[in-house]
Structure 1
Amino acid sequence: MRAIRPQQPGGPEILVVEEHPTPSPAVGEVLVRIEAAGVNFIDIYQRTGQYPMALPMPLGLEGAGVVEAVGEGVTEVRAGDQVAWAAGAGSYATHVVVAASSLVPVPAGVDARAAAAAMLQGMTAQYLATTTYPLRAGDVCLIHAAAGGVGLLLCQLARRAGAMVIGTVSTEEKAALAREAGAHETILYTSQDFAEEVQRITAGKGVSVVYDSVGKDTFERSLTCLRRLGMLVLYGQSSGAVGPFDPQLLARHGSLFFTRPKLQDYTASREDLLARAGDVLGAIQRGELSVRIGATFPLSQAADAHRALGGRGTTGKVLLLPE
């Protein structure tokens, strides 16, 4: 098989495709031929060493493909099944071994690219909108990076829940995408103060919840956008990690709530995984949720995929396609 397995952290240039032996699935494992793999910010954090990994680094957590072989004791899937996953370390490859318990079935009519694009970002948007802060009619939410992979899905889910949606974006093109996905209002953070704009749009009332994947650059001003007893949901840090802060800051801005969730805790049981993935993939199958694939790269151009995503020059999902 062909795979990317960097021997040390570094820049995008370390993402080189090499030949490796195709592994055999052990007990409870499945060998999958990958048809599409997702590229995510966590991959960049791992590549640079910000999130340390074992060496050589098995980059890539997300993908979709076809089961080629199953290990002893596997009952969840069979050879030939179309499956997707969000916890398959080493998915920057033509083949990967994944725990059977981490695989979910791909419904008929949902292709591998859409399935791979929907797993991490789709389930993230799903838990953010339904569990972390369950949106309902009358809520007002602020979504940072509204034209990103999670952002576009979250706009759709928030609009479907009946919430008013405000999205921040960097360009007019991205603003149009966010509005198409369901945003009622968009703010160009490159030329407008998003905190001031939120107060204007809400007539000084603020928003119920801020969904923030940006981190350092937006954190403090996001707090000022919230109404009393509002919640700041920090689920990413594309601009860098948020530093230590005095919890009194939450009291000062209206007894606010703050949380830093991650997908693994919302899909810790197989039942939760199947429910969240099923909700997302089922909505795609029924045409109720649209997944935007902003860019695809062959596996050999993974470095370019990382540069594009890291430079915030993409919209929607970035995928790697094995040649």
Structure 2
Amino acid sequence: MHAIVVSETGGSAALVHRKAPDPEPGPGEVLVDVAAAGVNYIDVYHREGRYPLPTPFIPGSEGAGTVTAVGPGVTDVARGDRVAWAGVLGGYAQQAVVPAERTVPVPERLSFEQAAAVLLQGLTAHFLTHSCYQVRTGDEVLVHAAAGGVGLLLVQMAKLRGARVIGTVSTEEKEKRAREAGADDVLRYEGFADAVRELTGIGAHVVYDGVGAPTFDGSLAALRPRGLLALYGAAGGPVPPVDPQRLNQGGSLFLTRPTMHHYVATREELLQRADDVLGWAASGAIGVHVHGTYPLADAARAHDDLEARRTSGKLLLVP
């Protein structure tokens, strides 16, 4: 088979398209013909070595396709099943071996491309709005990068839960996309904290920040007393060490750095969240916006576009 292999971490040139050994499923695993693989910022962190992995490795933490073989001990997934997965390496390939317990069923009315486009980011938006902070009717929510892949889903899920959503974006085109997703107000990044406090009168109940260093100070300043900042990513660079006293001075604020892994720790929780996300996508309750699809060999170009913030919505690799 062909795959993207990282032998040395670094820039996008580290993503090398080449032949790789045909994989075989071991105990508790399934082999999947990959129909589509999602491109996510965690893939960039793996490629750069920010989240170190033993080399060589095949990147890609999300995909969807058809099960073609099952390993010993697998009883609840069968050959021919339509499945998707998130949080498992190896998606940038024509075939992937995935632990059966980390796969989720894909509804017949949902395409593989839609499933691969929504699962990882959808699970992220789900745990952020339903568990990390349980958004309630009337809450005022600030979503950074509201036209990005996670941002668009955060806007939609927060609206499903009855919130007023304020988004930040960098361009007029992205503002249009955020408003189409349901954002009530859309701001540019400059001066956003003051604008949020003016719009709300006191500040947001929760800020969802996947940007990191460029927005962190403003995110804290945009919160009302006892508000929560969910710093779920660092697309703009990592946040320097923080003095906890700042949380006191801001009004007994809460700060968390969550990751999806801890919110889908059991198969029961994974299936429950995935059933919501894929079900909403299949019914049209949430929209899935694919910005672009790339041949597997063009993985480096997909990473370049993602990092340059030239995209709005999801990027996919199609083997």
TM-score class, shorter-chain normalisation, is over 0.9
Does residue 241 in structure 1 map to residue 211 in structure 2?
A: no
Within-5 A mapping of 1:77-96? 77-96=77-96
Q: How does 1:145-294 map to 2 (within 5 A)?
A: 145-189=145-189, 192-203=190-201, 205-294=202-291
| Partner Cα separation in structure 2 for residue 43 and residue 234 of structure 1 | 18
Give the Cα separation in 2 of the matches to 1:40 and 1:296: 13
The one-letter amino acid paired with 1:137 is T
- State the alpha-carbon separation in 2 of the partners of residues 76 and 62 from structure 1: 20
In structure 2, C-alpha distance between the alignment counterparts of 1:253 and 1:137, rounded to whole Å? 24
Partner of 1:59: 59
The AA in structure 1 aligned to 2:45 is Y
Residue segments in structure 1 that go unaligned for 5+ positions in a row? none
> Is the 1:9–1:48 Cα contact (8 Å) retained in structure 2?
yes
* TM superposition score normalised by structure 2: 0.99
Contact 2:58/2:93, CA 8 A, preserved across alignment: no
Query: Within 5 A, what are the aligned runs for 1:64-75?
Result: 64-75=64-75
- 1 CA distance for matches of 2:76 and 2:128? 27
Tell me which residue corresponds to 1:50.
Answer: 50
With the length of structure 1 as denominator, give the TM-score of the two structures.
0.97
How far apart, in 1, do the equivalents of 2:3 and 2:278 lie?
A: 27
Once the two structures are TM-superposed, the CA of residue 154 in structure 1 deviates from its matched residue by 0.7
Contact 2:77 2:100 in 1 (8 A): yes
Q: In structure 2, the residue corresponding to 1:151 is in which secondary structure?
A: helix
Cα distance between partner residues in 1 of 2:127 and 2:21: 37
**Distance across 2 between alignment mates of 1:199 and 1:172:** 22
Distance apart, 1:87 and its partner CA: 2.5
Q: In the aligned structure 1, how far is the partner of 2:81 from the partner of 2:163?
A: 37
**Any unmatched runs of 5+ in structure 2?**
none
User: Matched residues in 2 for 1:38 and 1:76: separation?
Assistant: 24
Cα-to-partner distance string for 1:2-42 (whole Å, 9 max, x where unaligned):
11111111211121211122111111110000000011111
Is the contact made by 1:172 and 1:188 (CA closer than 8 Å) also made in structure 2?
no
C-alpha contact (below 8 Å) 1:135/1:161 kept by paired residues: yes
Number of residue pairs the alignment of both structures matches: 319
**For the Cα contact (< 8 Å) 1:299–1:320, is it kept in 2?**
yes
Residue 76 of structure 1: CA displacement? Answer: 1.9
Q: Deviations over 1:150-188 (max 9, x none)?
A: 100110111111110000000011001101101000002
**Residue 243 of structure 2 aligns to a residue in which SS?**
coil
CA distance in 2, matches of 1:111, 1:9: 33
* AA of the residue aligned to 2:89: A
Aligned positions of 1:30-45 closer than 5 A: 30-45=30-45
How far off its partner does 1:221 sit?
1.2
One-letter amino acid matched to 1:39: V
Mapped to 2, the partners of 1:284 and 1:51 lie a distance apart of: 30
Letter in 2 for 1:43: D
Contact 1:8 1:57 in 2 (8 A): no
Match of residue 76 from structure 1: 76
For the residues of structure 2 that align with 1:230 and 1:207, how far apart are their CA atoms?
Answer: 7
Superimposed CA distance per residue, residues 67-101 of structure 1 (whole angstroms, 9 cap, x where no aligned partner): 00000110121111110000331110000100001
* Percent identity of equivalent pairs: 53
